Amino acid sequence: MLDRLSILKTALWAMVGALAAVTVYRFVYGLGAVTNLSDQAPWGLWVAFDVMAGVALAAGGFVLAATVYIFGLERYRVFVRPAILTALLGYVAVAVGLLFDLGLPWHIWHPLRYPQIHSVLFEVAACVMLYLTVLALEFAPVVLEHPRLQDPVLRRVYTVLWRVTLPLVILGIALSTLHQSSLGSLFLLTPYRLHPLWYSPLLPLLFFVSAVALGLMMVVLESLLARRFLRHEVAPELVAGLARAAVPVLLLYAALRLGDLIVRGVLPGALDGSWQSALFIGELTVSALLPAGLLMVRGIRMSGMGVGVAAALTVGGLVLHRLDVAVVAFARPAGVGYFPTWMEVVVSLGIVAGAVLIFIRFVETLGVYDGHPTPPPDRRKPLWQAAWMRSLRPAATGDVRRYSLAVVSAASLAVLFLPWGGASPRATPVAPPTSQAALRSGPGGARDFLLVAAPSGAVLSAEEARSVFLLDGDRAGEVVIFDHDAHLEREGGSAGCGTCHHLNLPADRSTSCSACHQDMHRPTDTFDHQVHVLALDGSQGCPECHAPGQMKTRAAATACAECHTDLAPAGGVLPAASDRWQAAPAYADAMHGLCVGCHERAVEAAAAEHDPHMARCDFCHDADRRSEVRALAPARTSRTWSTAALRAAGHDGL
């Protein structure tokens, strides 16, 4: 029997199945593997939809309780029980959503243990916990009406609960007022990150008013869905009455938002054509202005279609409002986006699906709609019936089988799509092994490689050839010929393997060449032509270096040392220049040959007057890792002392 309800249930069970698969993954691999949350976007779909929108969607409970119990509008009593049940399940869904979203969900009870009255979130948590209790007590009589629960003790509980209904309702309204508004107060703390079209000192009031409207419209929408799926008829005048009550609330909400923009002077921002202004206008229109306009027409109010569209618009628009405040309009650093992963969506939908299934189950077994118990059929079936095997689909078990199938197949499908492996760090890309021939005709065109490790023209023995290979050690697409044995010898034999292979950088296969071969070990050309042109008075100065009549080439020009006679100060120990255009000594050589020696002598001569740091090896060298120099290399930062600055600091001989 494939009626509307069992199709709906199949779909809901499928969502729950997918949820089950993602749940396991979420708790094994953590938030990072499942969500697109980041340090820049710490709150995402789960907070915005499951928690913030979830609480607002469950507002129907206190709104209807107030309507009937406080304002005495008895004819709406038919909505109270389903609204309370929706609220109860809604808040349970919020709690379940929180278990997914919290990093340490087993600490969810900590607000009770370490209460902090200065925290808005504590107030929300406390109110939600209390209100959940109140809702459970408000709904408990419905459960206790069940024919199986008719023993005398339970009857007494039932009577007590019945008598305290009014105090419970009033407590529920007060708690709801507090936490519905406090969800808005949460964002009072973020005046600079929440976009000015959403940030407002009135956030608590806006959240409360919109929650009242949302509560009314959810009850409307729900009664229409109940008519469609559960064949529960409610008089159209009653639905229209609720919808009409929502109109002034929606108009108040819209007026508050616009009035607030005007008072704060940011109304022009709503019309400046930015995506935020478009979102703001769209959100306000869909959530309040359009449905309020529609519902003012009696004909639309009385038609199921019309009132359904208006309610759906409000529900969608106000859920969007919560999403906007918590995620969309919440500033992130430039270039950092957030869009939920499919797994986040599956969790959000799965929790809602679960709540709807429980709702349907309660409607089927308890007097949710009719207000008095319906004696259930005798559900005690034998554990096993031989007849079950004979028919492929006996009517009694057909639905159950289909639901199980939906759960299992959705779960398997979800498992299939899960990004197994979790959030392991991105591995450094490593070029695949390449043959020499392939390299020669690679994308860079034909290239020849010089075998630097072996004497030119030498024939390598098999043993030697094994130790010399092509290596793209920096993973930069550039290959060098690498003499493994030479490195091994240099690093102290087998004890030196760790230098490259076992000091692995994270997610890296082995140490890259540049980890050791840094610019600080290479002589560097420090000549800057432009600086000299400026210093020598523009083109007037050319003859200073380029003799008239000579080619203006580097080779023919005056060498550095011919003018800068003090480049190598007395007492310095530097590699001898092999030609007049020798590049400046490598940073390491200069340090050892010039700076350290000079400082050592100065400290030795008068320890009190000189900073001992530069004379100490461990000022630069890490004691444990001899080959690693602390990050003092000027290679990429270029903020080095100028000669003039050193001279000003009292360095002689420069």
Partner 1 sequence: MKNAALLIDVTRCTGCERCVEACRQEHDLGVDLPRPGQAAVTGLSSTRLATIVRLPGDHYVPDRCRHCLEPACVSACLVGAMQKTPEGAVIYDAERCMGCRYCMVACPFGVPRYTWDEAVPVIRKCTLCHHRLVDGRLPACVEACPEDALGCGPRDELLAEAHRRIAAQPGRYLRHVYGEREVGGTAVLHISDVPLDFLGWAPPGQERSLPELTRAALSTVPATFLGVGSVMATVHWVIQRRIRLTGQAAAEGQDGAQEGTDPDA
- List the interface residues with partner 1, window 51-90 (CB under 8 A): 66, 69-73
Distance of closest approach, residue 102 Cβ to partner 1, in angstroms = 5
End-to-end Cα separation, the chain, in angstroms: 97
Nearer to partner 1 among residue 101 and residue 399 (C-beta): 101
Are the CB atoms for 633 and 520 separated by under 8 Å?
yes
Name residues contacting partner 1, limited to 209-248 (CB under 8 A): 237, 240-242, 244-245
- Residue 42: closest CA among 118, 125, 102: 102
Please state the closest distance from residue 258 (CB atom) to partner 1, in A. Answer: 22
Determine, following the binding rule CB under 8 A, whether residue 119 of this chain makes contact with partner 1: yes
Q: How many residues does the chain have?
A: 654
**List 192, 494, 565, 649, residue binding partner 1 (CB under 8 A):** 192
CB-nearer residue toward partner 1: 117 or 576: 117
Determine, following the binding rule CB under 8 A, whether residue 133 of this chain makes contact with partner 1.
no
Nearest distance in Å: CB 89, partner 1: 22
Please tell me what DSSP assigns to residue 376: P
Residues numbered 489-548 forming contacts with partner 1, rule: CB under 8 A: 505-507
Binders of partner 1 among residues 20 to 49 (CB under 8 A) are 27-33, 37-40, 42-43
Pick from 107, 96, 99, 161: nearest CA to 134: 161
Q: Which is nearer to partner 1, 553 or 637 (CB)?
A: 637
Interactions with partner 1, residue window 420-459 (CB under 8 A): 422-426
**Which tokens hold the place of 560?**
């550095």
Told to check if 111 binds partner 1 by CB under 8 A, we report yes
Give the position of tokens 């009314």.
216
CA distance 552 to 542: 9
Residues 6+ apart with CB under 8 A from 390: none
Question: Do the Cβ atoms of 138 and 172 come closer than 8 Å?
Answer: yes
The residue count for binding partner 1 (CB under 8 A) is 86
Q: Shortest distance, CB of residue 531 to partner 1, whole angstroms?
A: 16
294-297 contact pairs (CB < 8 A, 24+):
295/243, 295/244, 295/246, 295/247, 296/247
Sequential DSSP letters for 406-467: HHHHHHHHHHHHS-TT-SPPPPPP-PPP--HHHHHEETTEE------SS-TTPPPPHHHHHH
Q: Considering the complex, state which of residue 177 and residue 524 has its C-beta at the smaller distance from partner 1.
A: 177
38 vs 374, which CB is nearer to partner 1? 38
**Which of residues 131, 139, 330, 369 is near partner 1 by CB under 8 A?**
330
Is 296 a binder of partner 1 (CB under 8 A)?
no
Of positions 7, 149, 164, 166, contacts partner 1 by CB under 8 A: 166
Of 542 and 614, nearer to partner 1 (C-beta) is 614
Sole window of 149-157, 266-274, 330-338, 525-533 interacting with partner 1 (rule: CB under 8 A): 330-338
Map the footprint of partner 1 across residues 553-572, applying CB under 8 A.
Answer: none
CA 315 – CA 305 distance, rounded (Å): 15
Q: Is 120 in the site for partner 1 (CB under 8 A)?
A: yes
Q: Which is nearer to partner 1, 166 or 438 (CB)?
A: 166
Among 118, 372, 380, 502, indicate the residue that binds partner 1 (CB under 8 A): 118
Query: Which listed range, 101-109, 253-261, 287-295, 353-361, lies at the site for partner 1 (CB under 8 A)?
Result: 101-109
Q: Which is nearer to partner 1, 14 or 240 (CB)?
A: 240
> Of the candidates 474, 272, 268, 226, which has an alpha carbon nearest to the alpha carbon of residue 368?
226
- The least distance separating partner 1 from the CB of residue 29, rounded to whole angstroms, comes to 7
Nearest distance, CB of residue 250 and partner 1, angstroms:
16
Residue 171 contacts partner 1 per CB under 8 A: yes
Q: Which residue's CB is nearer to partner 1, number 107 or number 440?
A: 107
DSSP state letter for 297: S
Nearer to partner 1 by Cβ, of 120 and 479: the residue is 120
Query: Closest separation between CB of residue 164 and partner 1, Å?
Result: 13
- Of 104-112, 146-154, 388-396, 404-412, which part binds partner 1 (CB under 8 A)? 104-112
Non-local CB neighbours of 526 within 8 Å, separated by 6+ positions: 583, 584
Q: Which is nearer to partner 1, 506 or 549 (CB)?
A: 506
Comparing CB distances to partner 1, the nearer of 535 and 632 is 632
Least separation in angstroms between residue 632's CB and partner 1 is 6
Q: What contacts 49, CB < 8 A, 6 or more positions away?
A: 97, 319, 322, 323, 348
Segment contacting partner 1 by CB under 8 A, of 138-146, 325-333, 396-404, 452-460: 325-333
580-639: contacts with partner 1 (CB under 8 A) = 613, 619, 630-632, 637-639
Nearest-approach distance from CB 424 to partner 1, in angstroms: 7
Going by C-alpha positions, the residue among 178, 49, 59 that lies closest to residue 101 is: 49
Shortest separation between residue 98's beta carbon and partner 1, angstroms: 8
> Is residue 40 a contact partner of residue 333, using CB atoms and an 8 Å limit?
yes
List CB contacts of 13: < 8 A, sequence separation 6 or more. 353, 357, 403, 404, 406, 407, 410
Distance from C-alpha of 87 to C-alpha of 59, rounded to nearest angstrom: 7
CB of 486 to partner 1, least distance (A): 29
Considering only residues 5, 6, 11, 102, which one is a binding residue for partner 1 as defined by CB under 8 A? Answer: 102
Distances (CA, A) of 140 to 90, 96, 146, 154: 16, 20, 10, 11
Q: What is the CA radius of gyration of the chain?
A: 38
Q: How far is the CB of 251 from partner 1 (least distance, A)?
A: 16
- Among residues 575, 593, 587, 585, the alpha carbon closest in space to that of 637 is found at 587
Tell me which of 186, 311, 320, 568 binds partner 1, using CB under 8 A: 186
Residue 271 touching partner 1 (CB under 8 A): no
Among 80, 173, 226, 594, binds partner 1 (CB under 8 A): 173
Q: How far is the CB of 587 from partner 1 (least distance, A)?
A: 13
**Per CB under 8 A, 298 contacts partner 1:** yes
* CB 329, CB 270: distance < 8 Å: no
Task: Find the binder of partner 1 among 53, 178, 311, 586 (CB under 8 A).
Answer: 178
Cβ atoms of residues 329 and 279 within 8 Å:
yes
445-446 and 441-442 strand pairing: antiparallel
Please spell the DSSP secondary structure of 12-81, one letter per residue.
HHHHHHHHHHHHHHHHHH-HHHH----SS----HIIIIIIIIHHHHTTHHHHHHIIIIIS--GGGHHHHH
